[in-house]
């Protein structure tokens, strides 16, 4: 059931984004993208995630290389009598153990790296989507402000003809309309810019400025991990697990460097067809072993120990960074949630009421046009601050998920 639902979602996202990428303005203008569709598309097409998967594939190949057995060596010694020999290293000792173990742990680290890239990509997509939501909301506020100014200009022009107001009020409304048009133009440019940024994050090669986001800032509630869940999950983040795996891999490298002092023996078979050996046979076994006379592998051991220390320091620093990131995101979430609550518990309603009363008083001749525009700017600024606070709250929720490395078990409401 879940598989079919995910498949349908992926197909729908591909169709929508494909329609946006082709040169078909009529279809592209109607294309809308939800957050879930953007995430699904990015998990398949984001370049960083594609590269991470290729690196994981390379780690699989590295493990296969480490497991390979050495090829035999064929030799011929011309002379009287001539000899032919074949030898093979007996790669079954500690060097093989540590070499294979290091690559096996490296493969695990590469898998965690892929998961960590997925975590970062999801946050980047969500942040870009929230930015597109915010720019769309700000554009709506700017257009509503322009419509109010236009209505005032039309009304004032009629009142000017009847001599009810002075010419300066009409001139001021015209100036305010020009300013409102400029604000709308800048907001429209910002919307197009945010749409392009979103499409680049999710992996669209030819972004289309007409591809709109379907979810609004206020459209859906978010799953927010509790403080206890976030703290328990943070130390199981893929980047920390990857750092731990690399510590284990470097320990295996230290063991491998030490095992170099234990030489790998070579077992061979010599054939002397023209004359038998002392034993009376034409075949004889040969055994060879390397002796560490000139190279005691001190540099190899020193390099392995230094790499281990670097890996341990990196893991410790990663733990501190995770804790700091978790504290920062929890604080940001609480701050933005409190700020949103303050706007929703009266500030917006008061500003809307103040604007309505100012317009009514101006129509009745009880106040000046300056008071109307002051109330309009205050109301527009407050609404812009509110949607910005909503945007910051949603980004803080996604940042907390990234910091904790957790996602909702089921579909969000």
For the stretch 83-104, pLDDT in tens is: 889 999 888 889 999 999 999 9
Q: What is the pTM of this model?
A: 0.83
User: Residue 161: which residues within 8 A CB-CB, separation 6 or more?
Assistant: none
**147-198, pLDDT tens digit by residue?**
999 998 888 888 888 777 788 888 988 999 999 999 999 999 999 999 999 9
Residue 228: other Cβ atoms inside 10 A: 8
* Structural domain boundaries in the chain: 2-404
Long-range Cβ contacts of 322-328 (<8 Å, 24+ apart): 322/234, 322/235, 322/237, 322/239, 322/240, 322/403, 323/234, 325/403, 326/230, 326/231, 326/234, 326/400, 326/403, 326/404, 328/403
Using CA atoms, how far apart are residues 341 and 393, in angstroms rounded to an integer?
11
Residue 374: other Cβ atoms inside 10 A: 14
Calculate mean pLDDT across residues 340-365: 86
pLDDT-above-70 percentage for the chain:
91
Lowest mean pLDDT among 11-25, 47-61, 125-139: 11-25
Instruction: State the average pLDDT for the chain.
Output: 87
Calculate mean pLDDT across residues 348-364: 87
Superfamily name with CATH number, domain 2-404:
Outer membrane efflux proteins (OEP) (1.20.1600.10)
Contact 198, 131 (CB under 8 A): yes
Contact 393, 336 (CB under 8 A): yes
Contact 245, 109 (CB under 8 A): yes
Contact 274, 237 (CB under 8 A): no
Question: What does the pLDDT read at residue 9?
Answer: 47
**271-301, pLDDT tens digit by residue?**
988 888 888 888 999 888 888 888 888 999 9
Strand 32-33 and strand 212-213: pairing? Answer: parallel
Using CA atoms, how far apart are residues 38 and 150, in angstroms rounded to an integer?
37
- When pLDDT is cut at 50, 70 and 90, the band that residue 411 belongs to is low
Question: What does the pLDDT read at residue 2?
Answer: 36
Q: 205 exposed, middle or buried (CB, 10 Å; 0-12, 13-18, 19+)? A: exposed
Q: Which two tokens stand for residue 298?
A: 């001190």
Nearest to 108 by CA among 309, 244, 307, 208: 244
User: Residue 231: which residues within 8 A CB-CB, separation 6 or more?
Assistant: 326, 404
Instruction: State the residue for tokens 């697990």.
Output: 241
Contact 210, 20 (CB under 8 A): yes
User: Residue 61: which residues within 8 A CB-CB, separation 6 or more?
Assistant: none
Nearest to 344 by CA among 277, 390, 305, 308: 390
Using CA atoms, how far apart are residues 119 and 46, in angstroms rounded to an integer?
12
Question: What does the pLDDT read at residue 29?
Answer: 43
């Amino acid at each position: 059931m879940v598989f079919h639902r995910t498949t349908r979602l992926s197909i729908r996202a591909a169709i929508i984004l494909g329609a946006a990428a082709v040169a078909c303005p009529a279809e592209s203008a109607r294309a809308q993208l939800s957050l879930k569709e953007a995430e699904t598309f990015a998990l398949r097409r984001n370049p960083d995630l594609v590269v991470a998967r290729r690196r994981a594939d390379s780690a699989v190949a590295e493990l296969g290389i480490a497991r390979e057995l050495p090829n035999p060596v064929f030799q011929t010694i011309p002379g009287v009598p001539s000899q032919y020999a074949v030898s093979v290293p007996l790669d079954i000792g500690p060097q093989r153990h540590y070499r294979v173990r290091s690559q096996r742990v490296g493969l695990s680290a590469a898998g965690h790296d892929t998961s960590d890239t997925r975590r970062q990509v999801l946050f980047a997509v969500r942040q870009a989507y929230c930015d597109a939501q915010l720019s769309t909301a700000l554009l709506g506020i700017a257009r509503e402000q322009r419509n109010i100014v236009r209505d005032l200009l039309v009304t004032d022009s009629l009142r000017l003809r009847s001599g009810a107001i002075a010419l300066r009020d009409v001139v001021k409304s015209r100036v305010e309309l020009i300013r409102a048009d400029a604000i709308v133009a800048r907001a429209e440019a910002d919307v197009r810019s945010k749409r392009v940024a979103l499409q680049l994050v999710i992996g669209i090669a030819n972004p289309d400025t007409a591809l709109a986001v379907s979810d609004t800032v206020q459209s859906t509630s978010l799953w927010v991990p509790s403080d206890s869940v976030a703290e328990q999950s943070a130390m199981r983040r893929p980047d920390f697990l990857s750092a731990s795996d690399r510590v284990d891999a470097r320990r295996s490298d230290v063991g491998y460097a030490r095992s170099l002092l234990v030489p790998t023996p070579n077992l061979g078979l010599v054939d002397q067809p023209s004359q038998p050996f002392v034993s009376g046979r034409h075949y004889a076994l040969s055994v060879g072993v390397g002796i560490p006379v000139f190279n005691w592998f001190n540099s190899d051991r020193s390099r392995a120990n230094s790499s281990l220390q670097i890996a341990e320091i990196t893991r410790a620093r990663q733990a501190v960074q995770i804790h700091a990131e978790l504290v920062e995101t929890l604080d940001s979430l609480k701050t933005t949630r409190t700020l949103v609550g303050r706007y929703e518990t009266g500030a917006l309603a008061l500003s809307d009421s103040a604007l309505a009363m100012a317009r009514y008083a101006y129509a009745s001749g009880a106040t000046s046009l300056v008071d109307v525009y002051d109330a309009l700017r205050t109301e527009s600024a407050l609404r812009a601050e509110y949607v910005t606070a909503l945007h910051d709250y949603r980004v803080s929720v996604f940042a907390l998920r990234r910091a904790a490395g957790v996602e909702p078990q089921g579909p969000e409401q």
